């Protein structure tokens, strides 16, 4: 079995008396797109910085493709392309110079064609690259950050809020790039608090709440935890059934409309419907519907 | 090595205008000092000055200080003029605090997320410092040499290369000392202004303390804690060799600072 791309074992981090991470353990498998969720201050960036050995864990360990992030830091970082949440470029350098400098900090050479393709996809033209970064908009800086992270073709991409500051069209391009690198066999570990984004691109997610791991699951399984909203319209007045199948919660019962929430299969509910059904409208659940409960700081039921 | 070389090249490129600017300026200053000395010599101002000076002043100043009242003394003064010291210490502190600047602006997140060790960042700073020190002192020597070679009268008293090199070396030991101090400070903080401000204040305090120690006996003992106490280039003008003990103290302070900086930076959270 292949080594996990990322393996966190009882990872804890304290900054003085502040607990940033407490006993966090999970794996990310090679080839996965893994979403790392949590509110601001939940510990996402601290975890990422431990993976890069920018921050040292107080307890536990982090491994990347089997190598210890602390002990074998250089070996680990050779396999990582990193986009920080806040990218610190020199304002007086041009975009081109910045990409060149950062490319030289990798031991292997950058494929110029791949870089050009990335620049083209993100619509960073030659003229943009020859301008000083202080003249860039927030979105352009973000795009340059994405190029520097992707250009090394590292087996693992760690992206901290990758679409932050990008317009919706560019967000779509980033999702396509993430899909492209996955097709090339790379692993993507991305932090985000944009749930539709995570739902769209990620295979699995982990959710941090105040430094502790609240959930690790596939996106599909999380969706299954959510109730589907079902509205049934009738051609004639009908009576409500004396009992409801398991997993059905009634929201509203009117003579010609029922509104219910269903967790689990719909079959038992549909089997009990009278023949005068006019229409059934099923609202598929979103990741957000479930995760908001976790975000709420209350123990989810 | 490729990654470390890349980082060094990047920093050298960023610092090149400052290093060359200060080097050329100080080189020009050294050149002009040779012309000032030649002017004073041509008009016999040195002998007039010596005549005017009371005996007790001569005794108080000693032979080394008295050497200022000579062509060689004025030329040599360019290697320990307070403004020259301010300039070279400023260049040194700017280079040595680059680490704090990179942490502050988060550029370090991009560099250390690559195949670099933290000690490579320190090695980069030390390499850039050595290049800067060599360039600045080299340009100062070029300025002096150019002035002596082309633009002073033929009968001008000779000032040996040994004296000039020992003056430059003496200034180099001071730069090494402050590089170590600034590097240690820079690795402990997250903002360059904090590191360079603290080192600047420390340097000023040390300079004033040393000055007090030189002119006021009660302060002489305490002035030994000032690095400037171990920077005494005046005797070099008369051909006295550079004091090995003084040089060793300054280089040791620099080395300890660099080691402390490397250890602190290797252990800290960034």
Q: Which two tokens stand for residue A214?
A: 């609240």
The pLDDT-based confidence of A9 (bands split at 50, 70, 90) is: very high
**Which chain A residues are closer than 8 Å to B107 by Cβ?**
88-90
Residue B5 has pLDDT above 90, yes or no: yes
Q: Is A269 helix (H, G, I), strand (E, B) or coil?
A: helix
Q: What is the pLDDT of residue A301?
A: 45
Least confident of A121-135, A217-231, B138-152: A217-231
Query: Of A74, A84, A148, which is closest to B106 when you measure between CB atoms?
Result: A84
Identify the pLDDT of residue A298. 54
**Which residue has 């002990």 as its token pair?**
A71
Write out the two tokens for A192. 């985000």
Q: How many CB atoms neighbour CB B121 within 10 A?
A: 25
Mutation target for B interface from A101, A149, A159: give the one with most B CBs within 10 A: A101
- 3-state secondary structure at position A103: helix
Instruction: Provide CB contacts within 8 A for A182, sequence distance 6+.
Output: A31, A33, A188
Residues A7-13, mean pLDDT to the nearest whole number = 97
Distance CA A5, CA A284 (A): 32
pLDDT tens readout for residues A65-98: 999 999 999 999 999 999 999 999 999 999 999 9
Out of B9, B110, B267, closest to residue A84 by CB: B110
Q: Are B110 and A88 in contact (CB under 8 A)?
A: yes
pLDDT exceeds 90 at position A64: yes
Read off the tokens for A186: 């790379």
Sign for the pseudo-dihedral over CA of B52, B55, B60, B64: positive
- For the stretch A142-194, pLDDT in tens is 999 999 999 988 999 999 999 999 999 999 999 999 999 999 999 999 998 78
Contact map slice: B 248-267 vs A, CB within 8 A: 267
* Closest Cβ opposite residue A55 in set B7, B10, B269: B269
> What's the CA gap between B119 and B263, in Å, rounded?
9
Residue B138: the pLDDT is 98
Asked if A104 lies within 8 A of B2 by C-beta distance, the reply is yes
Edge-to-edge strand ranges of the sheet holding A248-253: A248-253, A257-262, A228-234, A277-283
**Which residue segment(s) compose the domain that B188 sits in?**
2-267
User: Distance (Å, rounded) from C-alpha A215 to C-alpha A296?
Assistant: 13
Query: A294 vs B129, which has greater pLDDT?
Result: B129
Q: Distance between CA atoms of A161 and B175, rounded to whole angstroms? A: 43
Chain B CA closest to residue A154: B114
Assembly ipTM: 0.86
pLDDT value of residue A295: 72
Which tens digit of pLDDT belongs to each residue from B108-146?
999 999 999 999 999 999 999 999 999 999 999 999 999
Backbone angles phi, psi at A69, to 5 degrees: -65, -25
SS3 A63: strand
For residue B233, give how far its alpha carbon lies from the nearest alpha carbon of chain A (Å).
40
* CA atoms within 13 Å, Cβ hemisphere of B208: 6
Interface touch B110/A88, C-beta < 8 Å: yes
pLDDT band at residue B61 using 50, 70 and 90 as cut-offs: low
Q: Are B269 and B196 in contact (CB under 8 A)?
A: no
Which of A30-44, A203-217, B31-45, B249-263 has maximum average pLDDT?
A: B249-263
Nearest Cβ partner of A86 from B6, B9, B106? B106
pLDDT tens per residue, range A20-61: 999 999 999 999 999 999 888 899 999 999 999 999 999 999
Q: Do A82 and B10 touch (CB under 8 A)?
A: no
Answer for the pair B99, B122: CB distance below 8 angstroms, yes or no: yes
User: pLDDT grade, residue B65 (50/70/90)?
Assistant: low
CB A71 within 8 A of CB A56: no
Q: Please judge whether A107 and B107 are an interchain contact, meaning their C-beta atoms are less than 8 angstroms apart.
A: no
Separation CA B33–CA B71 (nearest Å): 10
Span of A100-104, A105-109, B206-210 with lowest mean pLDDT:
A105-109
Say whether A52 and B113 touch across the interface (CB within 8 A): yes
Cα–Cα distances (Å) from A55 to A49, A156, B80, B105, in that order, read 5, 19, 43, 17
Lowest mean pLDDT among A15-19, A110-114, B52-56, B266-270: B52-56
B3 to A105: CB separation less than 8 angstroms, yes or no: yes
* pLDDT greater than 70 at residue B60: no
CA distance B28 to chain A (A): 29
Reading the block at residue A64, the tokens are 């990347």
Q: Best mutation site among A75, A82, A105 for testing chain B: the one with the most B CBs within 10 Å?
A: A105
Centre a 10 Å sphere on the Cβ of residue B168 and count the other Cβ atoms it contains: 20
Average pLDDT, chain A: 91
Going by pLDDT thresholds of 50, 70 and 90, the confidence category of residue B59 is low
A43 in Cβ contact with A20 (< 8 Å)? yes
Percentage of residues of chain B with pLDDT beyond 90: 79
Tell me the shortest Cα–Cα distance from A114 to chain B, in angstroms.
19
Contacts of A49 in chain B (CB under 8 A): 269-270
N-terminal to C-terminal alpha carbon distance within chain B: 23
pLDDT higher than threshold 90 for residue B55: no
pLDDT of residue B58: 66
- At A193 the pLDDT is 79
pLDDT for res B77 = 92
With cut-offs at 50, 70 and 90, classify the pLDDT of residue B34: very high
Give the one of A54, A101, A107 whose C-beta lies nearest to B109's C-beta.
A54
The pLDDT of residue B44:
80
Count of pairs with CB atoms under 8 A, one residue in A, one in B: 78
Residue % of chain A over a pLDDT of 90: 73
3-state secondary structure chain B: CHHHHHHHHHHHHHHHHHHHHHHHHHHHHHHHHHHHHHHHHHCCHHHHHHHHCCHHHHHHHHHHHHHHHCHHHHHHHCCCCHHHHHHHHHHHHHHHCHHHHHHHHCHHHHHCCCCCCHHHHHHHHHHHHHHHHHHHHHHHHHHHHHHHHHCCCCCCCCCCHHHHHHHHHHHHHHHHHHHHHHHHHHHHCCCHHHHHHHHHHHHHHHHHHHHHHHHCHHHCCHHHHCHHHHCCCHHHHHCCCCCHHHHHHHHHHHHHHHHHHHHHHHHCCC
Residue A230 tokens read as 């079902």
Q: Is B7 on the interface with A (CB under 8 A)?
A: yes
The residues in B 70-129 lying below 8 A from A, measured between CB atoms, are: 102, 105-117
Q: Are A271 and A246 in contact (CB under 8 A)?
A: no
Stretch B2-6: mean pLDDT, rounded?
Answer: 90
Q: Is the pLDDT of residue B63 over 70?
A: no
Measured between its terminal Cα atoms, the distance across chain A in Å is 35
CA-closest candidate to residue B266, choices A60, A70, A18, A44: A70
Predicted local confidence at residue B62, as pLDDT: 60
**Tens digits of residue pLDDT in B211-236:** 999 888 999 999 999 999 999 998 99
The total domain count for chain B is 1
Question: B92 vs chain A: nearest CA distance in angstroms?
Answer: 21
CA separation for the pair B121, B116 (Å, rounded)? 8
Task: Give the distance between the most distant pair of CA atoms in chain B.
Answer: 68
């Amino acid at each position: 079995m292949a080594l996990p791309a990322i393996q966190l074992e009882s990872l804890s981090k304290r900054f003085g008396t502040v607990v940033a991470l407490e006993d966090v353990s999970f794996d990310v498998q090679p080839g996965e797109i893994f979403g790392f969720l949590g509110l601001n201050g939940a510990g996402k960036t601290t975890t990422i910085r431990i993976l890069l050995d920018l921050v040292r864990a107080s307890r536990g360990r982090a491994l990347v493709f089997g190598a210890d992030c602390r002990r074998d830091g250089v070996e680990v970082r050779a396999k990582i392309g990193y986009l920080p949440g806040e990218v610190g470029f020199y304002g007086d350098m041009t975009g081109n110079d910045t990409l060149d400098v950062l490319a030289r900090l990798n031991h292997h050479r950058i494929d110029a064609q791949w870089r050009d393709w990335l620049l083209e996809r993100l619509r960073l033209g030659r003229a943009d690259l020859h301008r000083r970064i202080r003249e860039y908009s927030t979105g352009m800086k973000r795009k340059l950050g994405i190029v520097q992270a992707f250009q090394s073709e590292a087996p693992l991409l760690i992206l901290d809020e990758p679409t932050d500051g990008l317009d919706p069209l560019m967000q779509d391009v980033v999702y396509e790039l993430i899909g492209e690198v996955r097709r090339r066999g790379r692993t993507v570990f991305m932090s985000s608090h944009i749930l539709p984004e995570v739902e769209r691109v990620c295979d699995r997610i982990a959710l941090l709440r105040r430094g502790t791991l609240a959930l690790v699951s596939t996106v599909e399984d999380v969706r299954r935890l959510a109730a589907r909203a079902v509205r049934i319209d009738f051609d004639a007045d009908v009576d409500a059934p004396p009992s409801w199948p398991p997993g059905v919660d009634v929201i509203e019962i009117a003579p010609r409309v029922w509104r219910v929430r269903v967790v689990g299969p719909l079959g038992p509910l549909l089997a009990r419907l009278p023949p005068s059904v006019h229409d059934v409208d099923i609202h598929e659940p979103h990741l957000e519907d479930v995760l908001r409960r976790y975000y709420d700081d209350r123990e989810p039921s | 090595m490729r990654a470390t070389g890349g980082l060094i090249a990047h920093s050298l490129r960023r610092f090149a205008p400052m290093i060359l600017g200060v080097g050329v300026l100080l080189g020009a200053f050294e050149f002009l000092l040779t012309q000032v000395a030649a002017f004073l010599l041509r008009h016999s101002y040195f002998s007039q000055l010596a005549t005017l000076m009371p005996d007790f002043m001569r005794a108080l100043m000693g032979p080394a200080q008295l050497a200022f009242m000579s062509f060689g003394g004025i030329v040599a003064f360019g290697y320990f003029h307070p403004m020259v010291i301010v300039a070279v210490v400023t260049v040194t502190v700017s280079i040595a605090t680059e680490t704090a600047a990179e942490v502050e602006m988060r550029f370090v997140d991009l560099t250390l997320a690559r195949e670099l060790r933290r000690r490579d960042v320190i090695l980069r700073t030390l390499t850039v410092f050595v290049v800067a020190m060599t360039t600045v002192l080299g340009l100062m020597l070029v300025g002096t040499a150019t002035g002596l070679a082309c633009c002073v009268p033929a009968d001008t008293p000779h000032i040996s290369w040994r004296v000039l090199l020992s003056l430059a070396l003496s200034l180099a030991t001071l730069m090494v000392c402050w590089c170590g101090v600034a590097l240690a400070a820079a690795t402990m903080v997250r903002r360059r202004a904090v590191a360079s401000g603290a080192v600047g204040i420390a340097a000023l305090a040390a300079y004033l303390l040393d000055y007090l120690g030189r002119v006021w006996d009660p302060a002489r003992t305490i002035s030994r804690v000032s690095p400037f106490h171990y920077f005494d280039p005046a005797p070099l003008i008369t051909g006295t060799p550079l004091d090995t003990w003084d040089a060793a103290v300054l280089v040791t302070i620099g080395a300890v600072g660099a080691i402390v900086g490397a250890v602190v930076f290797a252990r800290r959270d960034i």
